[in-house]
Structure 1
Amino acid sequence: MSKVKTERNYYPHAVIAMIVGCVIACGYTIKIALDNPVEMDTYYMEKYQKVDENINHILELQEKFNAKFDLSYSTEKFQIGENSVSILLQDKEGNRIENAHVTMMLSRPETNKENRTLSPSRVENGVYSFGPFDISKEGRWQILSKIEVGELKGYHKNEAYAVK
């Protein structure tokens, strides 16, 4: 009696394993995406659809604003607890501007959950004061400002660090 040699073909098993692996990888990717949603950038303090539609106009107004006005912030550090921020707005000749509409937002760079929109609590001689407000977490914070003077709009971002 002679022995018959049979060959085994693993090719179909490999194809099926690759298809199953791709399905599992796609499902895992979708799970990660749902668990970690994309945070919207709040630099312009408006919905991204509106910014996307009007970005050229926004950038044009920003350029005109930067050519006409100077802006400076009073702080680069926060303490855990009660804080305040002041913004000095003046034109290029050094005249202080008091008739601006200023909105400020405190934000953490990694999340929008702790965003706080603030209005000036006091305006005096071109200095727009915001606060008091509480800072409860250490680390990096962003101070986002939207300033409107007449038809000009300016957007600015300043970073501050909160320490104990």
Structure 2
Amino acid sequence: MQNRKTLWPYGILLSIFAIVCACAYTIYYSLDYPVYMDDYYFDKYQKVDSKFNEIQAAQSNFSREFSFNTTPQIELNSLILPNQTQRLRRGKRATIVPLNQNFNLKFDTNATNYSTKILLTRPDSSEFDKELISQNQSGKMTINDLNLTKAGRWQIKAKIIIDENKTGFYQVELYAK
């Protein structure tokens, strides 16, 4: 009788272990981004799900004709601050903004006749959500008198509407220090 070892049982066990690890990582990753809390498109996720192709087409039409720079220009007491970034989890970067001080944000855009919906939010809670008002000042979308009262990560979510077939959705990461 020969004493032959086979390795296929170890391969099966290793595959099962890899599948369990992949499932655990998927759950861990999705805890940071639950679907029901996503308000990127300023609508309920059921409506976004049913009209996703139209939303993507409107975003594509907007991007083809207009530009929007998501790196803000920070103005504090009529002085332009240099852009500094803070590294976040998973390789993301956020622009550092002053804490407990009124400042203005300016975004370069070539769109002139548009309406906006802008939301200031924290990614982990909707407790601090605040709708912002923007103005178009010489080719820049300006948000005036912004004051962040809590340190940490903030997001500005913007919906720029030219018409129903040209709508841009943007998200800007901020870090208050």
> TM-score interval w.r.t. the shorter chain?
0.5 to 0.7
Partner of 1:143: 156
Q: In angstroms, what is the RMSD of aligned CA positions? A: 1.9
Cα distance between partner residues in 2 of 1:49 and 1:101: 24
* Structure-1 separation of matches of 2:96 and 2:159: 21
Which residue of the other structure, out of 144, 147, 158, is the alignment partner of 1:131?
144
Counterpart for residue 124 of structure 2: 110
Between structure 1 and structure 2, the one with the greater Rg is 1
Cα distance in 1 between the residues matched to 2:73 and 2:45: 29
Q: TM-score, with normalisation over the residues of structure 1?
A: 0.66
Separation in 1 of the partners of 2:112 and 2:35?
Answer: 37
Aligned match of 1:79 in 90, 98, 116? 98
**For residue 55 of structure 1, what is the aligned residue in structure 2?**
52
Matching of residues 21-60 of structure 1 within 5 Å: 40-60=37-57
Instruction: Quickly say closer, same or farther: Cα 1:113–1:38, change in 2 above 3 A.
Output: farther
Report if aligned partners of 2:36, 2:45 keep a CA contact under 8 Å in 1.
no
5+ long unaligned stretches in structure 1: 1-36, 91-96
One-letter amino acid matched to 1:124: Q
Q: Shift of the alpha carbon at 1:87?
A: 2.0
Which structure 2 residue ranges, 5 or more long, are not aligned? 1-33, 75-94
Q: What residue identity is the alignment partner of 1:140? A: R
Distance 1:62 1:156, change over 3 A: same
Question: Residue 88 of structure 1 is aligned with which of 71, 84, 108?
Answer: 108
Count of aligned pairs: 120
Q: CA deviation at 1:147?
A: 0.5
- Flag the 1:38–1:148 CA change in 2: closer, same or farther, 3 A: closer
How far did residue 38 of structure 1 move? 7.6
Please say if residues 39 and 111 of structure 1, whose CA atoms lie closer than 8 Å, have aligned partners that are also in contact: no
